[in-house]
Amino acid sequence: MPDDQPEWERLACQQQGDRIRQAREHGYALQLLAGDGINSEDFGLIAGPASDGTLMTDTPIADPRNPAVVELQRKFPHLSRPPVRIYSAFQTWAQAVEIAGSFDTKAVAEALRTHEFNTVLGRIGFDAKGDVTGYETFVWSVWKDGKFAPVETGKLTE
């Protein structure tokens, strides 16, 4: 397993991989639904063919043609995915501080509520509840042949 993979993620891959493989070996037609703790090739290696059809929620994969994403990948070559979400969060905060003209928490929060921000993920903002707008915060993915790929919109129930 990669050295940059957190211990909890390693456990998720192993436990979920073992669970679905053993269920299928015992004849159970279990439908596994998991989070992004199994978004590593280790899950497919551990589960084998039993991984086919496993659904998971995952973060969207950043556009590899985006120059900012390319730069992040260059800076963090040991990671399987560049840290675009955290980078985007810092970009958003920095722009909000700039708009607020200070580090004052209330002023920065007001800027976050009332503006949109250019980030590595695209132009984002926040709705009245504080949820991010401008990009999908998660996608459904499905495992097949030891790999996972995003499910096409509207195809989850097919």
Q: What is the tens place of the pLDDT at every residue in 19-28?
A: 889 999 999 8
**Distance between CA atoms of 145 and 154, rounded to whole angstroms?**
22
Q: What angle, rounded to 10 degrees, do the helices at 67-75 and 84-100 form? A: 110
Quick: pLDDT tens for 105-117: 999 999 999 999 9
Query: Which structural domains are found in the chain, ordered by start?
Result: 7-59+138-150 (3.40.50.2300), 67-133 (no CATH)
CA–CA separation, 127 vs 135, rounded Å? 12
What is the value of pTM for the model shown?
Answer: 0.67
